């Protein structure tokens, strides 16, 4: 029988005779009384629990609402703070509100969705309370480190952090910027072994590290920082390579990235990098070239600064470093030519050219000191300096007559035909071009300008007939060289082909050099003679010098024409020869008589061309 049946029928239990039946009935009655007591107690206990739970939840809800109202009041107090206004919140009230808001961040669960206005209020207060800036950032970093905070709230915090730099004190701006850069860089860099978009990442890994969405928000926050933070951002990113490579490439490739930030990456590329970072540097450089139009400008500025601060040349071995820097400057992008123009002057280039020529020529006799093979590097340096004259700035009265005469010393040494035959035409071409381009830098009030021009006029009068004769002789050998070239194309004999191509290559190079020298001499003589007839006394007009320099600028230099026509002949590795005219024109002089026509001289007389043969010192 169940207890319920017992309770409902306990009065109806039959009374058995005897003592045992009475004891049993008494026991049953006692059990029923105990059960009823326990039943009532449990019911009352459950009722009390429900009542207490209701009271607890009511208290929590009421307290939460009260707490949120207090936080909203504190947030409003911070928002209403405007320094200098009469009705604004007092400084002490603002400080007290900030202390309470920081304490509220320690219990994120109670704040809930109110974390965003709270974070915004703390960021705003940090601008007005520099003494609390570090503590506020520490509290905000605690929110970022709390994995229990939803990632949307952490992303909002990352997006808001750059506002802490607004109106920051000047003396603390750098310190604040460095700390913020550290926080944002740490949140934007993928953790080791954790790639974006990897579906195999576990939930634990995702909770311990910023997810891809947070990293993108942190990257956007980095891009929104002021340009003055660029160096700090790059410094912290490159310190975490190769882990931070994707972040670096994303910053460089972003259209929102400021030029200052990209320049900071370029500055890092200009510094020596370790072998471990070499591949990362190549990827960053590739992204910069593709997405940064100003790439190369910083390197150009550094090259100009290094060239300006370089010591004067003391030996031929130092020319290699100079030639390397000059070559890098010549090859800079056209968009950066204005940097070269602003940093390098024509007078400075003339000084460097004089240093090179002083090492090439004897200081007393102004003649070549060694074989021409030793002058390949100096000649290359001089040619690069001449090319830079198209970009360098021209400053009037920046050169003295003495400096110009030092540069033109090798020209002024050509006093007769013998000296002209012994001169190295490639160096003569460069020097003459340099001198004529630098004439506008002279002071026209200096009495030495006209004597210098007269001396140069004498040099060109001596050079011109000799070089013109050389051009005719080289032209006489051109048909034969072209026939040899045609034979080379149809018949391949290794040794004969190499020798013939060497001869043809060197001959055409000599022809281009001689033609350029002839052009320079003719332009100079024509201009000076015309001006001399109009004005023979007084200072030389500056505009005449500028017109002469402009005319010279229009002449294509021999090595530039060679680059344009280089595909016409096979390129040789080391085409070197010093006996061009004697070898080509001397052997074929009898077979080409059509060029030996009477030649008119300036005085109106006619005489046959000079029979002087080229000496052992030819054009090249």
Mapped onto helix, strand or coil, the DSSP state of residue 528 is helix
Radius of gyration of the chain (CA): 46
The confidence band for 203, taking pLDDT boundaries of 50, 70 and 90, is very low
Two tokens, residue 393: 């700035």
Q: How far, in Å, CA of 217 to CA of 152, rounded?
A: 10
In the chain, what percentage of residues exceed pLDDT 70? 65
pLDDT digits 0-9 by tens, 259-303: 889 999 999 988 877 766 788 889 999 999 888 888 888 888 888
Domain membership of residue 257 (yes or no) is yes
Domain membership of residue 470 (yes or no) is yes
**One domain, residues 290 and 357:** no
Domain membership of residue 116 (yes or no) is yes
Domain membership of residue 202 (yes or no) is no
Give the H or E element holding residue 25. Answer: helix 19-79
pLDDT digits 0-9 by tens, 510-567: 888 888 888 888 888 888 877 655 555 555 677 788 888 888 888 888 877 665 554 4
Number of domains in the chain: 3
**One domain, residues 413 and 512:** yes
Q: Please say which residue of 234, 263, 294 terminates a domain.
A: 294
pLDDT at residue number 275: 67
**One domain, residues 240 and 333:** no
**One domain, residues 338 and 409:** yes
Model confidence at 332: pLDDT above 60: yes
Domain membership of residue 179 (yes or no) is no
The average confidence (pLDDT) of the chain is 73
Q: What average pLDDT score do residues 421-444 get? A: 85
**One domain, residues 381 and 240:** no
pLDDT digits 0-9 by tens, 60-87: 444 445 555 666 776 777 776 766 565 5
Domain membership of residue 177 (yes or no) is no
Domain membership of residue 175 (yes or no) is no
Mapped onto helix, strand or coil, the DSSP state of residue 442 is strand
Q: What average pLDDT score do residues 319-340 get? A: 86
**One domain, residues 259 and 383:** no
**One domain, residues 251 and 306:** no
**One domain, residues 450 and 512:** yes
Q: What average pLDDT score do residues 598-604 get? A: 41
Q: How far, in Å, CA of 119 to CA of 125, rounded?
A: 10
Q: Please say which residue of 276, 294, 312 terminates a domain.
A: 294
**One domain, residues 133 and 276:** no
Cut 0.85: pTM above it: no
pLDDT at residue number 83: 65
Q: Which domain does 324 fall in, by range?
A: 299-607
**One domain, residues 242 and 145:** no
Q: How far is CA 402 from CA 350, 427, 452, 528, 618, in A?
A: 12, 20, 10, 21, 30
Q: Please say which residue of 267, 294, 321 terminates a domain.
A: 294
Domain membership of residue 548 (yes or no) is yes
**One domain, residues 345 and 358:** yes
CB 417 within 8 A of CB 355: no
pLDDT digits 0-9 by tens, 602-619: 444 444 444 444 444 344
Which range is most confident: 35-39, 441-445, 529-533, 550-554? 550-554
**One domain, residues 303 and 446:** yes
Position with higher pLDDT, 371 vs 348: 348
């Amino acid at each position: 029988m169940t207890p319920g049946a017992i309770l409902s029928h306990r009065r109806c239990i039959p009374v058995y005779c005897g003592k045992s039946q009475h004891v049993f009935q008494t026991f049953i009655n006692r059990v029923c009384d105990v059960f009823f007591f326990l039943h009532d107690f449990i019911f009352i206990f459950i009722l009390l629990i429900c009542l207490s739970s209701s009271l607890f939840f009511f208290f929590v809800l009421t307290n939460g609402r009260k707490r949120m109202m207090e936080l909203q009041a504190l947030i409003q107090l911070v928002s209403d703070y405007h320094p200098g206004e009469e009705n604004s919140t007092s400084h002490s009230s603002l400080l007290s509100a900030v202390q309470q808001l920081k304490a509220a961040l320690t219990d994120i669960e109670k704040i809930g969705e109110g974390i965003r206005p709270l974070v915004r209020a703390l960021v705003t207060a940090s601008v007005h309370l520099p003494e609390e800036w570090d503590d506020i950032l520490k509290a905000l970093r605690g929110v970022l480190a709390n994995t229990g905070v939803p990632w949307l709230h952490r992303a909002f915090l990352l997006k808001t952090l750059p506002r802490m730099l607004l109106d920051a004190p000047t003396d603390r701006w750098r310190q604040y910027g460095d700390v913020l850069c550290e926080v944002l860089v740490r949140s934007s860099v993928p953790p080791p072994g954790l790639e974006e978009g990897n579906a195999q990442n576990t939930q634990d890994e995702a909770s311990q590290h910023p997810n891809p969405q947070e990293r993108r928000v942190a990257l956007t926050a980095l891009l929104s920082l002021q340009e003055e933070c660029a160096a700090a951002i790059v410094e912290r990113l490159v310190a975490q390579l190769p882990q931070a490579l994707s972040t670096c490439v994303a910053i460089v490739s972003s259209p929102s990235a400021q030029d200052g930030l990209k320049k900071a990456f370029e500055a890092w590329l200009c510094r020596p990098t370790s072998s471990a970072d070499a591949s990362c540097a190549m990827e960053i450089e590739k992204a910069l070239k593709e997405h940064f139009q100003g790439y190369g400008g910083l390197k150009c500025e550094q090259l100009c600064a290094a060239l300006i601060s370089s010591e004067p040349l003391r030996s031929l071995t130092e020319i290699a470093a100079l030639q390397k820097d000059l070559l890098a400057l010549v090859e800079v992008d056209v968009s950066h030519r204005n940097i070269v123009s602003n940093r390098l002057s024509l007078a400075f280039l003339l000084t460097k050219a004089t240093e090179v020529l002083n090492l090439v020529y004897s200081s007393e006799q102004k003649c070549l000191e060694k074989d021409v093979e030793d002058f390949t590097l100096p000649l290359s340096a001089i040619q690069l300096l001449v090319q830079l004259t198209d970009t360098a700035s021209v400053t009037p009265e920046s050169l003295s007559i003495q400096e110009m005469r030092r540069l033109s010393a090798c020209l002024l040494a050509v006093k007769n035909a013998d000296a002209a035959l012994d001169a190295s035409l490639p160096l003569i071409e460069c020097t003459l071009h340099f001198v004529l381009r630098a004439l506008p830098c002279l002071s026209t009030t200096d009495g030495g300008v006209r004597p210098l021009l007269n001396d140069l006029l004498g040099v060109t009068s001596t050079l011109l007939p000799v070089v013109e004769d050389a051009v005719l002789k080289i032209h006489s050998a051109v048909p034969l060289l072209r026939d040899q070239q045609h034979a080379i194309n149809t018949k391949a004999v290794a040794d004969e082909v190499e020798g013939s191509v060497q001869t043809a290559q060197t001959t055409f190079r000599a022809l281009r050099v001689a033609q350029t020298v002839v052009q320079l001499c003719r332009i100079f003589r024509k201009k000076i003679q015309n001006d001399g007839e109009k004005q023979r006394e007084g200072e030389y007009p500056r505009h005449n010098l500028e017109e002469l320099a402009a005319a010279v600028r229009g002449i294509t230099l021999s090595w530039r024409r060679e680059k344009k026509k280089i595909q016409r002949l096979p390129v040789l590795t080391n085409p070197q020869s010093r006996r061009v005219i004697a070898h080509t024109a001397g052997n074929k002089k009898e077979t080409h008589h059509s060029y030996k026509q009477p030649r008119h001289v300036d005085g109106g007389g006619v005489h046959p061309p000079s029979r002087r043969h080229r000496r052992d010192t030819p054009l090249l």
